[in-house]
A and B are shown apart, each in its own frame.
Chain A
Amino acid sequence: MSRLTQFGNDLYTGERSFDFVGRRRTWYVIAAVFVILAIGLTALRGGFVFGIEFRGGSEFRVQSTSVVEQGTAAATALADEAVSAVVPGANPRVSIVGGDSVRVQTEQLTPAQTDDVRAALAEAYGVPVSDVSASFIGASWGADITRQALIALVVFLLLASLVLAIYFRTWKMSVAALIALFHDLVVTAGVYGVFGLEITPAAVIGFLTILGYSLYDTVVVFDKVRENTSEDGVESRRTFAQSVNLAVNQTLVRSINTSIVAVLPTASILLIGSVLLGAGTLRDIALALTVGTIVGTYSSIFLAAPLYVHLRQNEPELKKQGSRPRVARTESGAVR
């Protein structure tokens, strides 16, 4: 059996235990630092870099051109020249996509200009015009997606917290789960902000998927928490916090396995997407998800569970349970 199995055994029995709940202030501070870093550094960089879908503009792609092999600089210069010839002072952004395609982004061009630029690019790179694709994207398109995404976010949060509250029969789990989710979203978005990665509609899709995943992961941990704490009953020898901590420890191996299994496919998309295709839908979705998965796993363990304890520890019922000395049960005999 693998070492992780043995590790799992120890965690299950409580032989080995990480004090996730007890040292919660540490985790809170770490999470807060990450959130502040995410927001602060992004703000320092001047906010998010939005993709062309949000800014509006024209985009051209030159397919499979051999010019790229002569070096990025040469390809860039070529595109610059071609575009400038048609639209003086256009100041295009040129990037190499995948191994052999060139992407040229400009400000919004008129249809006539677009056709001319297409022709000019085709000529410059020595490819047929059909191999140069042109897109025009209005600035409000990305805004539309964002607005709808935000509405979706709110509706999802409301529905999900309702379902969780009904399933777990306590709204406190919903609150804890949502705070953890919020943390995940901020930190993931922060990765984009801090590294100046372009936020595209595909990245927004990635963010939205984190919603599902982050909660999903928290739910699995909470399900074990519910099981442990409800089994304990009032006469438990463990405090409420200890029960929760045991639950987190018992699901730790699952959490690790789950996040590895979830990250493997997204990471392979990320890798394949970046190496073969460069920036694109696949890579953007995968990047947000890979980061979100890792952060989501972290927050389920280090944030959601401790927060839940935090929210409930002042309940009179639990206070009584926590204060009862361990020997109390033997002394009192079979009162209950």
Chain B
Amino acid sequence: MVRSTPERKAIRSLVWLLVIIIALIAANGASVLFNNGQWTPKLALDLEGGTQITLSPQLSSGETVTPEQLERAVAIIRQRVDASGVSEAEITTQGNENIVVSIPGEPDEATRERIQSSAKLEFRPVLIADLPSASSVGEDDGTDPSTDPSASPSADPSASPSAEPSVDPSAAPAPSASPTDASDLAWITPELQEQFDAFDCATLAQVGANVAPVDEPLITCEQDGSIKYILGPVEVAGERIGDARAGLISSQTGVTTNEWGVFIEFDADGTAQFRAVTERLITLTGVQNQFAIVLDGAVISAPRTLSAITDGRPQISGNFTEESALTLADQLKFGALPIGFEIQSSENISATLGVSQLQSGIIAGIIGLILVGLYSFLQYRALGGVVLASLVVSAIITYLIITYLSNQQGFRLSLAGVAGLVISIGVIADSFIVYFERIRDELRDGRRVDGAVEAGWKRAWRTILISDMINFIAAIVLFILAVGNVRGFAFTLGITTIVDIIVVALFTHPMMQLLARTQFFGGGHPLSGLDPKALGAVYRGRAQFRAPVGVTSTKVASSSREAQRRQTIAERKAAEAAGEGKDER
């Protein structure tokens, strides 16, 4: 069967649409099969129920939070929330400075506290350093091969000799003696020693942050669990750090070496405090010579003291790589900032409320769809069917895309998103109206239906593209800049705008091309919505019209006689040829 070009094009477009839909179904099917996906979009907190806590940093005036700091804070808060055993918590940043924690259900007071507490940086002297859970080495032999060899050479020689002899004499004779300074081993009471022995570095994360008061010793571990410590009370608080940066260390002659280090600058108080600490530590030996940098209760580094630092500008050297030096500098700087997070809003959303809202949203959507359909039938007769069919196709594609993004990107449908979807019905239907009105304009200009469909499309397509582009810009700007609920709304708005373009180009227009070839539409049946007679005017020239004149039957008859009289040259010749027998001339 030979098909005309528009018809073939139309069928090709429809096939493409089918391919897109099948691909979306397949993508969703794949995530359902392999990635624990679902066939329904995940719901946001306001529909599913749960608690949403917005944290804002407590800053003194003039201070700002950098994106890196915020990221770091999110990572810390995520650790804390995970440690509290809450699964599926969502932690996001909002508006460049806030952090939003969304938790299903209701968090207890302890979790709240933990989320809220600031990342605390402290300098504590090392009293005892040891391999982690030394007692369990025998049992865990096979399971922990990585920590042992790496930890042994560094920690063992220094820790064992200094710790063993010093603990016994001080702990035994003077258990009640109050410690004279932070490095005094008198801090180590038998109970503490017991706790230390029983302490397992693997539980560090569960214990949580900031477990010991500043004026008491702290049992903790290196962040990666490789070394276990007893640390003295806090000697310098993190807030005393003015700046910290990573860089290459210069030798004493001023030549830059290839060794990475971290440079710290203390403020005036910090300089004095740090000077006192280093002056004392330099006289001590073994692990007591070390001071530990503690972030959120875990030791991030425990460098030795090589000299007394009097200018408040210590360098930390060690086996740093560029990356680890930068990380430490960042941790010092970030921990040094007095960023405590304050709970700005905390919202409990019960699921029942969300469900009733969702239901109403869906009811509103269906009613809206029906009303739009009814109005389209009223205005565009049978073409209303095309509008409804296009809307249904849009709905299917939108649903599939949202479900896919929900499975893959963690998108969650919020109430504002549902509103966006319902509202998009109107926006999507609008492109059909633009298109149909253009077709009608072309019909008014005197084109045949199939020509009008093509010409109308060319003009409508431009309009649809530019107006959708405006909508899309709005969606993107809102999504990037706006916060909270606005994002969910902007997201659905953006998706439906794209879907609108796809559906209009790959469904509505091809359908019109095919329908224009049917007798019903192409012939301009009064109910088709494309009745040229109803659309009136006869074309007379560019943008000049006259209404069709009522023509009487006698007039029709006379004009046909006139037409017969005024034969074309060819007709006359044919007639002459036929009447050659009768000789007229």
Contact = CB atoms under 8 A, between A and B. Distances in A.
Contacts of A39: none
B444 A13 contact: yes
Interface in B485-509: 485-486, 489-490, 493
Contact of A268 (B94, B95, B367): B367
Contact of B489 (A4, A205, A246): A205
B481 A152 contact: yes
B545 interface: yes
Given A2-B379, A261-B375, A282-B360, A231 B368 contact: no
Contact of A138 (B56, B368, B422, B478): B56
A133 B353 contact: yes
Nearest to B352: A63
A152 B471 contact: no
A276 interface: yes
A135 B51 CA distance: 9
B368 A269 contact: yes
Nearest to B348: A133
Interface in B5-63: 46, 54, 56
Contacts of B361: 269, 272, 282
Contact of A260 (B369, B375, B415, B485): B375
Contacts of B429: 261-262
Contacts of A216: 427, 430, 467, 470-471
A163 B465 CA distance: 12
Interface in A1-23: 1-2, 4-6, 8-10, 12-15
Interface in B339-373: 343-350, 352-353, 356-357, 360-361, 363-365, 367-369, 371-372
A333 B423 CA distance: 54
B423 A265 contact: yes
A208 B486 contact: yes
B350 A131 contact: yes
B368 A145 contact: no
A133 B356 CA distance: 15
B542 interface: yes
B484 A145 contact: yes
A281 B416 contact: yes
B526 to A, nearest CB: 7
A183 interface: no
Contact of A273 (B360, B372, B381): B360
B110 interface: no
A4 B429 CA distance: 18
B298 interface: no
B378 A2 contact: yes
B279 interface: no
Nearest to B542: A231
A83 interface: no
A208 B415 CA distance: 16
A136 interface: yes
B109 interface: yes
Contacts of A228: 543
Interface stretch (A29-37, A40-48, A250-258): A250-258
B433 A257 contact: yes
A167 B480 CA distance: 24
Interface residues of B, number: 86
Contacts of A10: 536
Contact of A156 (B46, B98, B474): B474
Given A5-B535, A12-B537, A261-B375, A163 B485 contact: no
B484 A264 contact: no
B485 A201 contact: yes
Interface of B is mostly: helix
Contacts of B475: 212
A119 interface: no
B363 A272 contact: yes
Nearest to A114: B346
Contacts of A263: 426
Contacts of A212: 470-471, 473-475, 493
B269 to A, nearest CB: 31
Contacts of B420: 209
Interface stretch (A84-92, A187-195, A219-227, A309-317): A219-227
B130 interface: no
Contacts of A246: 543
Contacts, number: 266
B267 to A, nearest CB: 29
Contacts of B369: 265
A159 B345 contact: no
Contacts of A152: 477-478, 480-482, 486
B547 A145 contact: no
B547 A167 contact: no
A175 to B, nearest CB: 15
Contacts of B382: none
A204 interface: yes
Contacts of B433: 254, 257-258, 261
B415 A282 contact: yes
Interface string B459-473: 100110011011101
Nearest to A262: B426
Nearest to A215: B470
Contacts of A8: 437, 440
Contact of B535 (A4, A9, A219): A9
Given A133-B349, A219-B466, A257-B433, A13 B536 contact: yes
A136 B347 contact: yes
A265 B56 CA distance: 37
Contact of B364 (A144, A151, A213, A282): A282
B543 to A, nearest CB: 7
B357 to A, nearest CB: 6
Contacts of A126: none
A264 B349 contact: no
Interface string A259-294: 011111110110111001100111001100100010
Nearest to A277: B360
A201 to B, nearest CB: 6
A119 to B, nearest CB: 14
B395 interface: no
Contacts of B344: 138, 140-141
B346 A269 contact: no
A243 B567 CA distance: 42
A134 interface: yes
Given A6-B536, A269-B364, A281 B419 contact: yes
Contact of A144 (B349, B416, B483): B483
A71 interface: no
Interface in A144-188: 144-145, 147-149, 151-152, 155-156, 159-160, 163-164, 167
Interface of B: 46, 54, 56, 94-95, 98, 109, 343-350, 352-353, 356-357, 360-361, 363-365, 367-369, 371-372, 375-376, 378-379, 381, 415-416, 418-420, 422-423, 425-427, 429-430, 433-434, 437, 440-441, 444, 459, 462-463, 466-467, 469-471, 473-475, 477-478, 480-486, 489-490, 493, 526, 531, 534-537, 542-543, 545-547
The 5 tightest CB contacts between A and B, nearest first, are A265-B368, A212-B474, A1-B534, A262-B426, A138-B344
Given A220-B434, A220-B467, 5 more contacts: A209-B474, A216-B470, A231-B542, A276-B356, A281-B485
22 contacts: A5-B535, A6-B534, A9-B536, A12-B537, A111-B109, A135-B347, A136-B343, A138-B54, A138-B344, A155-B481, A156-B474, A205-B419, A212-B471, A220-B434, A261-B375, A262-B423, A264-B375, A266-B422, A268-B364, A269-B364, A272-B361, A273-B364
